Amino acid sequence: MMARKDTINALIRRGIDEETAEKLADEGLLLGDVKDASKEDLTEFLSEEKAKEVVNKVGKKGKKKKKKEKKVTGEKDLEKVYDEKFEDLEGTGEEIKEICDEKGYDLPYSVIKDIAEHMDGHDISKDDHEDLLDMVYERYQNRKIDSLESVGIVGAQSIGEPGTQMTMRTFHHAGVAEIGVTQGLPRMIEIVDARKVPSTPSMEVHLEDEIKSDRDEAKKIASRLEITRLKEIADVEIDIGETCVTITPDKKRIKKEDIDITKITQNLSKKRGIKGEVKQEDDHIRIDVEEGKFSLLYETVEEAKETKIKGLKGVERGVIRKDGDEFVIYTEGSNLAGVLKMDGVDVEKTTTNSPTEIYNVLGIEAARKSIIQEAKHTLDEQGLDVDIRHIMLVADVMTNEGTLNAIGRHGVSGRKTSVLARAAFEITSQHLLRAAILGEEDKLDGVAENGIVGQPITQGTGAVNVKYTGHAKKED
């Protein structure tokens, strides 16, 4: 009764009158049956006119009409969206898409566009187009992952094995000997461990189009980026008789750095570690400390020397290098949030080598992209050829929960449901002891745990059971 009532309501919602809906439901038809039925099938129960109306409103033709109605209400028509992806294909690209449609090839848009770009400018006949597409489609199909493939194990092996060939040295940015960056195996470990701060944080700061070829502008921005401390631009001396600290700024240096003596005074006044009265006297600054407190005097001197006068927190140095027709600033230290707020900086190209910082500033999708780029770059630097899809899989596993997770025991591996898989990774005895105390159960669903107990894994050929029963005897 419930199915009959649901069918009637569903048909009425699609514009069928109640009497016709009841008649169809009484014949035992469900909504799916009505959708699949042709006009000829429905004329057994309805008049030809009613059957035609039902097919138009509920059947396959009616479905198309419904999509058009959805478009009016603002809902996206998926077929329309799919077609729109190919709207910018012209000339060769359009021809290739037509051939794909004729042959039933479901090649991705990016592949079609890539083929078209390489074929443009060459005199290739339509027959050759078809032969080329046949080859591309065959290779595309061969590169698809087989059903029940152990992609995690394959990906781990594909990155882990070349990883044993990696060096453990610190390298330098190409052409920038002053800025050292960790590469090789230590860098790869940093990336998959999702370290909050890399051992050598660095940024690549690009400038806006209007000033990217101007060295002077690049110098100004680099100067604004770098942290400038008081000891770099002034002499700091102790006057024991007066129990005060005297600061004499270097006039040439503060002019070059575009720093005003008033700004130095303000920064010293704000510094928490300076316990004394800060006064500006003509071309020098004086800090009066309580009389007789000589230890406090020496502490004040050290605090004053380390006072930050300008620059971004964490950015120790900036080195300018010409890359093609533009100047790029490489930094020692990183502060992405701060640098993106600066005038003259290209926010689309500027980046840091810290995926965690990118996650905090730009979000999880940007962090995923950063993991892929940093890992690929690290492997390429070592001359190791690893398919980017393995790296993409690692990045997906690290970011698929919406937060940045490490691969290790404090992240992805530590949260596995299998006790044996966790124990196989690190600190075996603790995992097994804890599981025994809590009475945990291992269902042996994954690859690692089945390998440990010595039975076939539940993927690939191990996911199916084949039983040979012998040939049936032929009757005489």
Indicate the domain borders of the chain: 2-72, 91-142, 157-200+353-402, 228-310, 403-461
Confidence (pLDDT) at 475? 60
CATH number of 403-461: 1.10.150.390
- Residue 444 and residue 423: Cα distance in Å, rounded? 13
pTM over the 0.85 mark: no
- Residue 399 and residue 78: Cα distance in Å, rounded? 27
Confidence (pLDDT) at 358? 94
| Six-digit token string for 388 | 């980017």
Name the band, by pLDDT with cuts 50, 70 and 90, for residue 203. very high
Question: How large is the average pLDDT for residues 107-128?
Answer: 78
The class that CATH gives domain 157-200+353-402 is mainly alpha
Between 217 and 123, residue with greater pLDDT: 217
Confidence (pLDDT) at 356? 93
Confidence (pLDDT) at 178? 62
Q: Note the pLDDT tens digit of each residue in 464-476.
A: 777 777 776 666 5
- 389-395 long-range contacts, CB within 8 A, separation 24+: 389/155, 390/154, 390/155, 390/158, 390/159, 391/159, 393/151, 393/152, 393/155, 394/155, 394/159, 394/192, 395/368, 395/369, 395/371
Name the band, by pLDDT with cuts 50, 70 and 90, for residue 274. confident
Confidence (pLDDT) at 476? 52
Name the band, by pLDDT with cuts 50, 70 and 90, for residue 172. low
- Residue 411 and residue 408: Cα distance in Å, rounded? 5
Using the predicted structure, report yes or no on whether residue 272 has a pLDDT greater than 80. no
Confidence (pLDDT) at 370? 94
**Dihedral sign (CA 10, 14, 17, 20):** negative
Please state, rounded to an integer, the average pLDDT across all residues of the chain: 80
| N-terminal to C-terminal alpha carbon distance within the chain | 54
